[in-house]
Amino acid sequence: MKVRIGIDVGGTFTDAVAINNDTFELIGSVKMPTTHTAKEGVAAGIVKVLKEIMEKYQIAPEDVTFIAHGTTQATNALLEGDVSQVGIITLSSGVQGLKAKSDTTIGDIELASGKYLHSYNAVVNSADQEGFEKNIERALEELKNSGAQAMVATEAFSVDNPENENKAIEICNQYGYPSTAGNDVSKLYGLKVRTRTAVINGSILPKMLDAANMTEKRIKDAGIKSPLMVMRCDGGVMTVDEVRHRPILTILSGPAAGVAGALMYEKLTDGIFFEVGGTSTDISCVKDGNVAVKYAEVGGHKTYLTSLDVRTVGIGGGSMIEIHNGKVKDVGPRSAHIADLDYEVFAEDENIIEPVLKAVHPISTDPEYAYIECSNGKKYALTLSGAANIAGYVPEDSYAKGNIEAAKKAWAPLAENMGMSVKETAEEVLRLSALKNGKVVESFIKDYGLDKNMLTFVGGGGGAATVVPHLGKKFGCVFKIAKNAAVISPIGVALAMVRDMVERTIMNPTEADILAVRREAERKAIASGANPETIEVKVEIDTQQQKVRAIAIGATELRTKELTGARKTDEEIKSLVAENLKVSENQVKIEVDNGSICAVTSEIKVRSHLFFTKKVKPVRLVDRDGVIRLQKKNAQVLACPVSAWKKNVKYLLEEHTVYGDGGAEIPNIYVVSGSRIVDMAGMQSESQILSLCEVELAGAQRDENLIMICTKTTENERG
């Protein structure tokens, strides 16, 4: 049996899972404390937990087909200010020299209170090619004397011509300095932000290089031939060699692992993912099957690092109840472990004897939080886990399931003060917690244009059942606890796909520009360890910011397996869509079926004005695993062989392009080939769409049946 191993290095514990490579089912997991203080750092814990899981489940080194780890090391280094000083070699010439020096003077970035990332500048005349090497050497000596331990080479417009930056980096490497080129961390214009991103990357290079080299060596020493992969902050993985160049991509990769696991197990189309720990909940968003990302900030400064859009709320399974005059006032952010108290819901009934409500200040400046003291001297915190168990929201098989009778006895004194029943008091606490998490959910719905009616809430982490069921009911959304929720993060690491992205600043991109960015992203994904045959590329055009973005995703091996087992029948798929649309089954039909994906449609009357209704044709693309891959409120569906794709795309463009004072508004077109959905929404011209389609369908058989979906961009097409 071939095995995939995923290791998630958290702030407190390092978790490892073993996954059956054929079925993607969980074989088992182990947990041990994270080794922050070891000589080898967190690498020591990775090696220990790897050894333990292989011994416990009798996994031979030759049976490990994939191994990856997620690490908080880069994040922690920045949070704690444990970084190297960086020397910036500014390459410039002529009249632009002064501006370049100003844009690349990053100075000190405050990472934490009193902790700074220090950087120093030296300017080199890039026009003097004959003396280039000697000038770089002089700059290195100057920066070394200032205290720099890692180097960055940066030049305006290096994304168009990186020759000088790359030459400078070669010289830095010859002298043994860990170094970063500005063009290597971002392909976007904006010298200041690009340089800042490179400086942050350079500041963690030495520490991450040591950890990467040590971890890779120890895993090879264990006899594992599979290359080590590392979790990225956008939910993908990359080779350890890529970490050596761009360790900044591992920042905030912890929350990304949980989402990656949820996407693989739950196959979300549109949803909100909650990873619930003891103290806090990390909330993230999935739209059209893709995790939402944004540019990360470090020390309050913008970077060109795209990371998961994670919003953290101080509500978790161990959150304590804030009280005032003996009554409930709020929930969190303090948790039971900060107050050094056990959870009431995990106590034995017989230990809750004559409980008396008392107040504690976990930290001297905190308000009062509730706990009970029993006549036998035992003390327990009143927690959100206790409230959720009492109110009946925690399933029997949940990691958060506790002793309800003990919890009820512990909550009785607080309920008496409230003049409520124990269950009513628990519900009030859940209501207050939902207000905090609900604000974040509402912000995601607004920021990403999500339809509340179509959202699925998915919970991960040990405390998932204490937050998600109640919140789902409050919002009227479908909700579920992810399979193996307690270890969803290491599962996400084990099942993650290779991912890479290229962004370029291009005004009015031509089809040649778009295809060049697409090819570059594909090449980078291959360099990061993806099998070329598995790579899919999504191209996005941001006209407002004049950017072309290509995201390439692939597997490390030719992956053909699915997680969910038996293929769904036509009737099961129709039933699924009917439930999704909230209509009867006889109102939906499978309009096109290409063998892998079905286009299921209906006709629904909706109110368009106060006294008028109109018919819309909602479309759901559903695969044979029963996963809704795409959902549109009103669309046209076509079927055609590959040989006729161009004629049909042109027809859709003619039918649905809207002409106005601002010019032509191109419709959103999606082409389904096998199990792949080619997303051309956002393309700005017919030539761009035709060129991209040409590339995406190049390998398809001429008689293969395609599905085409088209929506007008002016309509509210989601729903």
Specify whether the CB–CB gap between 399 and 462 falls below 8 A.
yes
Q: What is the pLDDT of residue 719?
A: 41
Specify whether the CB–CB gap between 3 and 32 falls below 8 A.
no
Letter for the amino acid at 570?
D
DSSP string, 499-551: EEEEEEE-SS--HHHHHHHHHHHHHHHHHTT--GGG-EEEEEEETTTTEEEEE
Q: What is the pLDDT of residue 641?
A: 95
Residue 647 token pair: 């004629």
The total number of residues written for the chain in this structure: 719
Specify whether the CB–CB gap between 104 and 154 falls below 8 A.
yes
Instruction: Please state whether the predicted TM-score (pTM) of the whole model is above 0.75.
Output: yes
Residue 189 DSSP code: S
Q: What is the pLDDT of residue 611?
A: 58
Q: Which of 463, 468, 457, 459 is nearest to 401 (CA)?
A: 463
Alpha helices in 391-510 (DSSP H): 404-418, 422-448, 464-475, 488-495
Residue whose token pair is 């998961």: 308
Report the half-sphere exposure of 660 (CA within 13 A, side-chain side). Answer: 8
Specify whether the CB–CB gap between 655 and 481 falls below 8 A.
no
Note the Cα 427 to chain centre separation in Å. Answer: 31
Q: What is the pLDDT of residue 586?
A: 93
Q: How many CB atoms neighbour CB 456 within 10 A?
A: 18
pLDDT tens for 61-90 read: 999 999 999 887 788 788 788 899 999 999
Specify whether the CB–CB gap between 257 and 70 falls below 8 A.
yes
Residues in contact with 105: Cβ distance below 8 Å, sequence separation at least 6, in sequence order: 88, 121
Specify whether the CB–CB gap between 43 and 218 falls below 8 A.
yes
Cα(280)–Cα(299) distance, integer angstroms: 21
Cα(436)–Cα(93) distance, integer angstroms: 53
Note the Cα 617 to chain centre separation in Å. Answer: 32
pLDDT tens for 331-384 read: 989 999 889 999 999 999 999 999 999 999 998 899 999 999 999 999 999 999
Specify whether the CB–CB gap between 8 and 24 falls below 8 A.
no
Cα(710)–Cα(653) distance, integer angstroms: 9
The list of the chain residues with pLDDT below 70 reads 11, 557-566, 607-612, 714-719
Q: What is the pLDDT of residue 718?
A: 41
Residue whose token pair is 């327990």: 380
Is residue 227 reached through a cis peptide bond, with omega within 30 degrees of 0 on the bond before it? no
Cα(288)–Cα(268) distance, integer angstroms: 8
**pLDDT > 90: percent of the chain:** 60
DSSP three-state, residue 291: strand
Q: Which helix (H) or strand (E) holds 479?
A: strand 478-481
Cα(263)–Cα(276) distance, integer angstroms: 16
- Sign of the dihedral through C-alpha 79, 80, 83, 85: positive
Q: What is the pLDDT of residue 558?
A: 56
Note the Cα 69 to chain centre separation in Å. Answer: 15
Q: What is the pLDDT of residue 589?
A: 95
